[in-house]
Amino acid sequence: MPETEAALLDWSFVSAQLENATHYWLTTIATDGRPHSVPVWGLWYGNRLHFEGRPQAAWARNLLRDPRVTAHPPEPEQVVMLEGRARVIQDDELTGQEWAELDGRFQTKYRTGTGSPYWCIEPTKVIAWDGGLLDTMTRWIF
């Protein structure tokens, strides 16, 4: 951890890294307790990581059974790691306009005409650092 508060990172660092990432490594817990990691497409929006994928995928089955998850972009120098709980966003949770904005941003980011990031991770802890040394490591607990 940094020796002074001046070295702590601002939340804007977290948001920038997550907004600019193309892929995110998602780690779930398999039925036998092993970690299961896969890259997914996602979108940082409203301080949550939104992502999509096939409901039959192993990671989706894992999350339905145990929602504890970690996620991070593959960047090794400007690091942001999320811990939290993943869940399917319910249709009535967002307005039609909010769904359209979320879908539009996702489809624009990945240059696709379809897809809806209907899963989200609500962070419970975020750890980040900027650079190869850990002198800016900063942690947020929610």
More confident residue, 113 or 18: 18
End-to-end CA distance of the chain: 18
Is residue 29 a contact partner of residue 61, using CB atoms and an 8 Å limit? no
pLDDT of residue 26: 98
Q: pLDDT tens, 27-56? A: 999 999 999 999 999 999 999 999 998 889
| Residue 53 region by backbone torsions, left for phi larger than 0, else alpha for psi between -120 and 50, else beta | left
Q: pLDDT tens, 55-111? A: 899 999 999 999 999 999 999 999 999 999 999 999 899 999 999 999 999 999 999
Say yes or no to pLDDT of 10 above 90. yes
Confidence of residue 1 (pLDDT cuts 50, 70, 90): low
Which of 56, 75, 59 has the alpha carbon at shortest distance from 67? 59
CA distance 120 to 89: 7
pLDDT of residue 4: 76
CA distance 111 to 78: 25
pLDDT of residue 113: 87
pLDDT of residue 14: 97
**Residue 68: both structure tokens together:** 């504890």
Q: How many CB atoms lie within 10 A of CB 98?
A: 13
